[in-house]
Structure 1
Amino acid sequence: MSSAPVDSSSPTPTDPPVSAEDQDPADPTTWVIDGGAVGEISLGDDYLATAEDLGDGWDETCEGLTAWGNPELNVFFVAGSDGTIETITVEGLIGDPSAGPRTPDGIGLGSTRDEVRTAYPTVEEVAPAIGDGVYLRQSDDDPTDGARFFEFAAGDDRVSSITLTTRDEPPYEPCA
């Protein structure tokens, strides 16, 4: 009696699960993207107070946008018209997801489209208003969490940015 072959091609997350206990508050590369937050930054929090609390290494690059970065990774957050944080984005060179912020399921910059879909089977594919890339959008029933957008550049199958936002989609030019 023969048995069916085991399918070992199913995608798995690129990195092991992480939790808030795994992050270093002073090192954004270790932060966890969970609920409505990326590490120490949460949607709906006061923009100015958060920028002040984060301290060294964080700069207001234009009015209402504060960023931290190194040559491989940028993390920035954007104020809404009410002075609270409405968008948080992680972007950078595509590589090993463990080199930057990740979701609790290990999804980060460089994860593949199949890995995102496996970790979050309810994501919906949406086209951005501008550009030829694609977003995989994930949201839950809590509007304070906003939605999570995994961005894929045109012709690429790996996550190039992850954005949490209370907007309908990530801002195209947040400093405009």
Structure 2
Amino acid sequence: MMRIRAGIALTGVLALAMAGCASEGDPADTAEPTSASPSESASPSQTPSTPPPTPTTPGQDAEDPADPATWEIEDGELGPIELGDDFDEVVASLPGDWVNDDSCAWVAYWSAPDGTYLVSFQRDAEGAGPVIAATVESLSDRSGIGPRTEDGLGVGATREDVLAVHPDAVEVDSPIEGISFLRIDDDDASDGSVFFQYADGQDGATRVAVTTLETPAYEACA
């Protein structure tokens, strides 16, 4: 019995000695702990994210005089064209692709390169003077083209679209049969009104005009 107990005791001593060697010399026990991957350690609030780009929309900060698609329709203004400004000075300030010729000297106009819409402005036909109207009109069946209001209204906007934003808009008849308007008035009479023009049988506005006239001229050069 003594030999058996001695054998057990010796075996225990050897096991402790081997364990001590492993704790002192095993690289696996002395290596630095491996860091967790970002997906394992980062919380959702710590995960970096890139915000989506802000789309360019018509408005004062984005307006390009050479690109009426970036212009904003607002009280008394269509992009850089402002009611009351000298007509000839406005013509001179715009890029060279605007047309103002002797056949219709009181009107200047610009056509979109893809032929979808036209922008124009006018003075009184009797002689030099201020801008009295500025208009964007559709030349195609496309909607959502050309200058827009800050609320996104423009050519193609339905009556429901306009009334949803401007419930005080006024229904106005036109002297031209088959044409009617929704008029949005401004508190300042010098800023005129914004008119959305509708043709019978069409849901979307075919023209949008900013003018001090009682109703927009149907054909400025007629």
Secondary structure of residue in 2 paired with 1:105: coil
Q: Are the aligned partners of 1:18 and 1:105 in contact in 2 as well (CA < 8 Å)?
A: no
Answer whether contact 1:139 1:147 (CA < 8 A) is retained.
Answer: yes
Please say if 1:91 is aligned against 2:131: no
Matched, 1:123 2:169: yes
Could you tell me which runs of 5 or more consecutive residues in structure 2 were left unpaired when the two chains were aligned: 1-55
The answer to whether the 8 Å contact 1:144/1:166 transfers is yes
| TM value normalised by structure 1 | 0.85
Shift of 1:55: 2.6
Q: Which residue of 2 aligns with 1:136?
A: 182
Q: In the alignment, is the contact (CA less than 8 A) between 1:47 and 1:79 conserved in 2?
A: yes
Secondary structure of the 1:163 match is strand
Return the structure number with greater strand share: 1
Alignment of 1:48-59 (within 5 A): 48-59=88-99
CA distance in 2, matches of 1:123, 1:96: 21
Residue of structure 2 in register with 1:63 after alignment: 105
Q: Which has the higher contact order (CA 8 A, sep 6+)?
A: 1
Q: Unaligned 5+ residue runs, structure 1?
A: 1-15
- Structure having the higher Rg: 2
Matched, 1:169 2:212: no
Tell me, yes or no, if the aligned pair for 1:94 and 1:159 is still in contact at 8 Å: no
Deviation by residue 1:25-78 (Cα, 9 ceiling, x = unmatched) = 220111100111010101000000000110311011512000001211100001
Higher helix share: 2
Q: Distance in 1 between matches of 2:96 and 2:60?
A: 21
Q: Does 1:33 align with 2:73?
A: yes
Figure out how many residues of one structure are paired with residues of the other and give that number: 160
Shift of 1:94: 4.1
Aligned to 1:137, the other structure's residue is in SS state strand
TM-score between both structures, scaled by the size of structure 2: 0.68
In structure 1, what is the Cα distance between the partners aligned to 2:202 and 2:182? 13
| Cα-Cα RMSD | 1.7
Which residue in 2 is equivalent to 1:72? Answer: 116
Could you tell me which residue of structure 1 aligns to residue 23 of structure 2?
none
* Native 8 Å contact 2:65 2:95 kept in 1: no
Are residues 75 and 18 of structure 1, via their aligned partners in 2, closer, same or farther at CA, if it must alter by over 3 Å? closer
SS across alignment from 1:156? coil
Moved over 4 A (4+): none
